[in-house]
Amino acid sequence: MPDRKYRVAVVGGAGMWGRHYLRTYAEHPQCEVVGLVDRARERRDDFARRYGVSATFDTVEELLARTVPDIVSAVVPVGQNFPVVSTCAKAGVRVVSCEKPISASLAEADALVDVCRQHGTLLGCAQAAWATPYMRQVVAWIHAGNIGTLTSAALPGGLPVELSGAGCVQLAALRLVTRREVEWVEGWELPAVDGYVAPGTPAIEADVPAYGRLGLSGGIVCEIGQPGGDMPTFLSVTGDNGQVWLARPRPVLVQGVGPRSTPVLPDFLQEPSEDFFGGTIQRLLEAFDTGEEPLSSGDDYRHALETAIALKLSAAQDHQRVELPLKDRSHRLFPHPYRLFGGDVAGWQSIGYPGPPPVPRELRSLASFDELGQLNWPDIERLMKAADPTDLGLVMRQRPKGHQQHVLDLLSPAARRAAKAALEGPEPTPEEIQAAQSRIVDTAHRM
Of the residues 286, 308, 341, which one is the last residue of a structural domain?
341
Residues 248 and 393 grouped into a single domain: no
Strand (E) positions, 90-227?
95-98, 122-125, 150-155, 182-189, 210-216, 220-224
Residue 147 CA, distance from chain mean position = 26
Residues 307 and 379 grouped into a single domain: no
What pLDDT digit, counting tens, does each position of 405-441 carry?
A: 778 877 888 888 999 999 999 999 989 999 999 999 8
What CA–CA distance (Å, rounded) separates 20 from 37? 14
Residues 162 and 271 grouped into a single domain: yes
* Inside any domain, residue 124: no
Q: How confident is the model at residue 404 (pLDDT cuts 50, 70, 90)?
A: confident
Report helix, strand or coil for 65: helix
- For the chain, how many structural domains are there in total? 2
* Inside any domain, residue 45: no
Residue 268 predicted with pLDDT over 60: yes
Residues 303 and 373 grouped into a single domain: no
DSSP state of 297: B
Comparing CA positions, the residue from 81, 106, 332 lying closest to residue 207 is 332
- Lowest mean pLDDT, pick from 1-10, 109-118, 121-130: 1-10
Residues 143 and 286 grouped into a single domain: yes
Residues 337 and 387 grouped into a single domain: no
Residues 313 and 404 grouped into a single domain: no
Listed in sequence order, the residues at least 6 apart from 127 whose beta carbon sits closer than 8 Å to its beta carbon are 169, 276, 280, 296
> Which of the pair, 144 or 354, is modelled with greater confidence?
144
Q: 373-378: which pairs have CB atoms within 8 A and are 24 or more residues apart?
A: 376/19, 376/20, 376/23, 377/20, 378/20, 378/23, 378/24, 378/275, 378/276, 378/277
Of the residues 309, 341, 373, which one is the last residue of a structural domain?
341
Buried b (16+ CB within 10 A) or exposed e, 287-321: bbeeeebbbbbbbbbbbbbbbbbbbbbbbeeebee
Report helix, strand or coil for 248: coil
What CA–CA distance (Å, rounded) separates 251 from 246? 5
What CA–CA distance (Å, rounded) separates 429 from 418? 18
Residues 377 and 311 grouped into a single domain: no
* Inside any domain, residue 15: no
* Inside any domain, residue 97: no
* Inside any domain, residue 283: yes
CB-based burial of residue 29 (10 Å sphere; 0-12 exposed, 13-18 middle, 19+ buried)?
Answer: exposed
What CA–CA distance (Å, rounded) separates 138 from 252? 10
CB-based burial of residue 274 (10 Å sphere; 0-12 exposed, 13-18 middle, 19+ buried)?
Answer: middle
Listed in sequence order, the residues at least 6 apart from 103 whose beta carbon sits closer than 8 Å to its beta carbon are 78, 81, 82, 109, 112, 305
Type of residue numbered 400:
P
Comparing CA positions, the residue from 137, 416, 133, 170 lying closest to residue 249 is 133
CATH number for the domain including 423? 1.10.220
Of the residues 278, 309, 341, which one is the last residue of a structural domain?
341
pLDDT > 90 in the chain, percent: 75
Comparing CA positions, the residue from 315, 88, 375 lying closest to residue 188 is 315
Residues 262 and 335 grouped into a single domain: yes
Residues 180 and 263 grouped into a single domain: yes
What pLDDT digit, counting tens, does each position of 20-47 carry?
A: 999 999 999 999 999 999 999 999 999 9
pLDDT at 402: 67
Range of the structural domain that residue 178 is part of: 130-341
* Inside any domain, residue 355: no
* Inside any domain, residue 112: no
Report helix, strand or coil for 210: strand
Kindly state the average pLDDT of the residues 134-151.
Answer: 96
* Inside any domain, residue 347: no
CA angle in degrees (0–180, nearest 5) for 154-156-160? 120
What pLDDT digit, counting tens, does each position of 187-218 carry?
A: 999 999 999 999 999 999 999 999 999 999 99
Residues 261 and 372 grouped into a single domain: no
CATH number for the domain including 196? 3.30.360.10
Listed in sequence order, the residues at least 6 apart from 385 whose beta carbon sits closer than 8 Å to its beta carbon are 272, 410, 411, 415
Cα–Cα distance list, 73 to 17, 27, 96, 236, 378 (Å): 11, 15, 6, 30, 18
Residues 155 and 284 grouped into a single domain: yes
Residue 403 predicted with pLDDT over 60: yes
